Structures are given as C-alpha cells and as structure tokens.
Amino acid sequence: MSNDEFRAAMSRLAAGVVLVTAQEPPLDPDDPMAPAGEDVGMTATAFLSVSLDPPLVMVSLRTGSRMDDLLAEQPLWAVSVLTESQRHIAGRFAMKGRISDRLLFEDIPCTRGRESGAPLVGGALAALECRTEQTVAAGDHTLVIGRVLTAELPGADGGPLLYFRGRYRQLG
C-alpha cells in the first residue's frame, strides 16, 4: 500500500476540527520581569475522547512540529472545538510556512484558560484545558494523552466544523 492510497482511504473518515493551543514558558522563569512566552496554536483533526474516569483526551501531533516540541516541555494545553463559522481559524493555523503565532492570534477573540493560561477561542462549541499524562511515539506522530482539567460550553450557535476528503465541511 502506498502513502497516497492510505491518505485517500483515511480522507473518507469525517473528523471534527479543533484548535490546540499552549503558552510557551517565560524566556527566563527565574526572572519575574522576563517577557511571557508566545502563544502557540495548531489545527488538528486527530483529536478524541479516551476515557471518562479519569477524563482523558488524545491529540496526534506531527513529530518535531512546534506544538510537539512545546508540549514536550510544557504540560498544560487547551483545545477549542471549532464551529462551522470558524473555518478561517482552522485554515489560518493549518498553513504551511505560516507567519508568527503572535500574528495568527491577533484578531481572534480569545480568553485565557484559568488552569493552562492557553488561549481559548471565543465562540467555540467547547473549550477544554488539559495536562499531559502520557505521550506515545507512533510512526511520524506523537500521541499526547491529556487529563481534562476544565471543560466549558461557551454556548456557540451552529454546528461543528468537519474535515472530509481534504476539505473543511459542515453538517447538512
């Protein structure tokens, strides 16, 4: 089986779209005046619930990606479940060769997670804050299993943003 055959088969599986976010640690953790680290975000479609007791979720990250490197040193992160009207956010954080994360977050309404400090997208269907419990090397990806620390339902209208056959879609 070729990579193209595998990719084509998996593109037939519809997936929800989330924005995974984290905040880099301060540049100098011993200096209270040091600037805070930058917010980092990435679009993911390989995200799922793992366990109810304890509450665990899992996200798959490309090994060596900025988020993979960050979560190797920063155990706190967040997930915003995107709505069909937030396609522009998913596209922006999925771009290859993109601009700095600071600019990507610039005009997106966000709040700070009280546990993680990570940005939570305003108007998302759900927002979760997590602490990494375990990582598993899986081929060219790292599976990050996180304990859910907080879960909020901001009350957004609309349906979920989906990814199917290589494109963002909506229900209906």
* pLDDT one-digit tens code per residue, 48-73: 999 999 999 999 999 999 999 999 99
Average pLDDT over the chain, rounded to an integer:
91
Burial of 119 (0-12, 13-18, 19+ CB in 10 A): buried
pLDDT at 96 over 80: no
Q: What are the tens digits of pLDDT across the range 126-151?
A: 999 999 999 999 999 999 999 999 99
Rounded to the nearest 5°, which phi and psi values hold at 118? -80, 155
pLDDT score for 74: 93
Q: What is the pLDDT at residue 158?
A: 84
- Structure confidence at residue 93 as a pLDDT band (50, 70, 90): very high
Which backbone phi and psi does 59 adopt, to 5 degrees? -130, 145
Is residue 170 within 8 Å of residue 161, measured between CB atoms? yes
171 confidence band (pLDDT: 50, 70, 90): confident
What is the Cα–Cα distance from 123 to 109, expressed in whole angstroms?
8
CA–CA dist 46, 44 (Å, integer): 6
Q: Which long-range contacts (CB under 8 A, 24 or more apart) does 96-103 make?
A: 100/38, 101/38, 101/39, 101/40, 101/41, 101/66, 102/38, 102/39
pLDDT bracket for residue 170 (50, 70, 90): confident
CB of 81 within 8 A of CB of 40? Answer: no
Lookup: tokens for 46: 């390989």
Question: Which residues have a Cβ under 8 Å from the Cβ of 101 and sit 6 or more positions away?
Answer: 38, 39, 40, 41, 66
- Residue 47's pLDDT band (cuts 50, 70, 90): very high
Rounded-to-integer distance, Cα 113 and Cα 33, Å: 22
Does the pTM of the predicted model rise above 0.75? yes
What pLDDT does 10 receive? 85
What's the average model confidence in pLDDT over 114-126?
95
